[in-house]
Structure 1
Amino acid sequence: MSDLGRAISFAGGLYGQRARTIGAGYLRRDPMARLQLAPGRRDPYAIYRQMRAAGPIVPTRLGNWATTSHRIANRVLRDRHFGVRPEGTGPDPRTDGFDLSFLSMNPPDHTRLRRLAQPAFSPRQMDAYRPRIEAVANDLLDQALRQKDFDLISGFAAPLPIAVITQLMGIPDAEAADFARIGAVIGSALDGVRSLGHAKRLLKANAELEQLFLRLFRLRRAEPADDIVSLVVQAEGERIQPGEMLPFCVLLLVAGFETTVNLIGNGVLALLDHPEQWAALTARPAALAPPAVEEALRFDPPVQRTARVSFCDTEIEGRPVRKDQIVVTLIGAANRDPDVYDRPDEFDIGREPGPEHLAFSSGIHYCVGQPLARLEAAVAFQALAERAPALRRTGRVERRNATIIRGPIRLPVTTG
């Protein structure tokens, strides 16, 4: 097939699927379709409540299942009879959009590559990272506070994790901005390709990022350092194959800031929309920043849903689940399950500890980078509460054009 033919075929499939989703969402009021449209971006929680009223696990229009239940979602995410893709298959960039490395693998490949990443996120490493994170956060706040009025996302929430992950990966300062720019484009595909223009930007970004990392691999082979890319290069041919190195590093780069940017954005938005909670945090920043992070993750998680494929015929709550059938675990809904959380729709940073939320998934795919995301968000919340206690919103919040990943792309604030 010619390039033109492939483009026409891609466009037909993309816009055909889009039209079907719009029809299902607006005409048939299908809740899973509505989650992928504007209503889902504005308020997915209203749609989750509608789905919960129909039962803890409900069929989807595509012949799969979706659950709003914390109990069921946790079980599916932990069950070794479910995986991230059909058993015996591996990542395929032609259908997956781009290779998510071990995030899109089942064991044993998932286990092997996850073990390679884990040392970078150990408790000992978090202790070492904290001074760097605090220094970056305070430098950013120095600049933002001089302006008084600023966008919390572009001025603080986004550059903080980007600066941290590029440092940890050993990306040279001269190339850090390029890695961040390209990584943001790649991260936009986590919700799928939205248009031909989006697809073109992704192809260009993929090519640029590949060249940047190949140069970095050559540099770290010649000049090893104390960073993640050096660790990957040293493991080449043993714990990681040459063809796995690029997807592995792309995943760590993108995941290293996508989750945290939206965690900080969602958390600060919730705090400012609940003045009594912001006042409590400013009164005791060091003590309440960590629980504020956990409540932000529960109340409005950056990743709203994930899915698992059944490896065999089974059943859940009396519902038959066939081999290769998908169960969509609606993390945002599970985190507000009234069977698990008292006052689930209230944001309360003083909430008594209870069952762990599912914002970082569960089971073997529990987010390997979650210690870093938690630490960065806690440092961010504490720094804002200590240095900008009069912080408040000043304009309309703009949300990202996505439904799986949830967070603001613009949050205007003032410190006066």
Structure 2
Amino acid sequence: MPTRLGNWVTTSHSLCDLVLRDRRFGVRPAGAPVGETPTDEVDLSFLDMNPPDHTRLRRLAQPAFSPKQMAGYRPQIEATVNELLDRAVETGGFDLVGALAAPLPIAVITNLLGIPEADAENFARYGTVIGGALDGVQSLSHAARLQKADAELNALFTGLFALRRRDPADDIISRLVAAEGEQIQPAEMLPMCILLLVAGFETTVNLIGNAVNALLDHPDQWEALCADPATMAPKAVEETLRYDPPVQRTGRFALQPLELAGKPVQQGQFVVTLIGAANRDPEAFPDPDRFDIAREHTADHLAFSSGIHYCVGQPLAQLEATVALQTLAERALTLRRAGRTRRRNSNTIRGPIHLPVRITTSVRRASATIR
């Protein structure tokens, strides 16, 4: 359907998937450099680039998210989740976002980037401020917070680039420094790090929050998860990504005139793909408004986009969320709300800001951690 600004919007799963995969569309109009389109509020590196620059920079990031790397990350993620829950459950009730969903991805992504002694609270703030700008700057105070976060991250990463030039390590920043001048230009390094920080934080914190929120709304599904955490945790993550994805919408510019579902799309027109709605398209998913972690999926959800811009950090986000849900289910006999859930005010990123919960620790989990 047409928008008031003369563009297009679709909720159809098949059309969203087609637009996201079709090379006749791009993340910016043909020939438009980064920073010169209405969607630019933050420079998010290759996420905002068309090929060939997108291809060149994505290749640098991709190895950090390979299956081999994921297997190596799992022990650290499991240890971090258990440590966070050990602290949280001492009082019985806690904010799931502040105690688990936010510090987990911050601990993981800062370790991957090679940020020493990372301040989780500050990095969560950076991620929230920059992620909030994906909807556009909302006020002067928001602009000031964005400018401050950008300046602080700039100073931090500039110092790390200098450190890794002198003292390389086994981390993403060291690999970027090693590729500087050939595969990546100096001006492209900071946006790449900010993209990995924001993407590594925003997707996972909201995925975990949305999953637990949905499970609290559906006690039978929580019981199914607790009955077999190892088998059902990956399924619960997959169903959450369909039912309540962290990213609700994205879009593409037409790179040439074309026809889409019988409608003419002119070069430069923007097609908004409402992926949150597409994930509940009844033509793709039977009984789409039902949250069912045992669902047999009849189509691929679009929570991580599709095509060449499919989220590079998808394996890590799913692994972190799976370990978090599995561990929570193994350790909790009960899971209850302990206060009002507050959701973030955003059209693009969806997830809770605060999710107070109360759990009862399971004896069987205490023995499981010893082996």
- Output the TM-score relative to the length of structure 2: 0.95
Paired position in structure 1 for 2:342? 398
SS in 1 for 2:333: coil
Paired position in structure 1 for 2:24? 81
Identity of aligned residues (%): 67
**For structure 1, which runs of at least 5 residues remain unmatched after alignment?**
1-57
SS in 1 for 2:272: strand
Residue 159 of structure 1 pairs with residue 78 of structure 2: no
Match of 2:57 among 113, 138, 148: 113
Paired position in structure 1 for 2:262? 318
Distance 1:130 1:320 in 2: 48
Match of 2:200 among 240, 245, 256: 256
Equivalent residues of 2:337, 2:356 under 8 A apart: yes
Match of 1:301 among 245, 251, 270: 245
Q: What one-letter code is carried by the residue in structure 2 that aligns with 1:277?
A: Q
Residue 135 of structure 1 pairs with residue 79 of structure 2: yes
Match of 1:290 among 234, 237, 241: 234
Give the 5 Å matches for 1:56-71.
58-71=1-14
Equivalent residues of 2:335, 2:359 under 8 A apart: yes
1:184 Cα offset (Å): 2.9
1:383 Cα offset (Å): 0.6
SS in 2 for 1:372: helix
SS in 2 for 1:392: strand
Paired position in structure 1 for 2:273? 329
SS in 1 for 2:94: strand
Give the 5 Å matches for 1:313-392.
313-392=257-336
SS in 2 for 1:168: helix
Paired position in structure 1 for 2:142? 198
Distance 1:413 1:175 in 2: 24
- Comparing 383-392 with 128-137, greater Cα deviation is found at 383-392
Shift >6 Å, 4+ stretches: none
Q: What one-letter code is carried by the residue in structure 2 that aligns with 1:376?
A: E
Residues 177 and 93 of structure 1, relative CA distance in 2, 3 Å threshold: farther
Residues 174 and 303 of structure 1, relative CA distance in 2, 3 Å threshold: closer
Equivalent residues of 2:242, 2:279 under 8 A apart: yes
1:176 Cα offset (Å): 5.3
Distance 2:33 2:207 in 1: 30
Residue 230 of structure 1 pairs with residue 174 of structure 2: yes
Paired position in structure 2 for 1:188? 132
**For structure 2, which runs of at least 5 residues remain unmatched after alignment?**
361-371
- Output the TM-score relative to the length of structure 1: 0.85
Q: What one-letter code is carried by the residue in structure 2 that aligns with 1:381?
A: L
After superposition, what is the alpha-carbon deviation per residue over 1:95-140, rounded to whole angstroms, capped at 9, x for unaligned? 6122110000000000000010000000000000000100100000
Q: How many residues align?
A: 359
In terms of fraction of residues, the more helix-rich structure is: 1
- Comparing 389-398 with 269-278, greater Cα deviation is found at 389-398
Residue 220 of structure 1 pairs with residue 144 of structure 2: no
After superposition, what is the alpha-carbon deviation per residue over 1:149-202, rounded to whole angstroms, capped at 9, x for unaligned? 100000111111111101111000155554443333222212211100110111
Equivalent residues of 1:179, 1:212 under 8 A apart: no
Distance 2:75 2:81 in 1: 10
Equivalent residues of 2:110, 2:197 under 8 A apart: yes
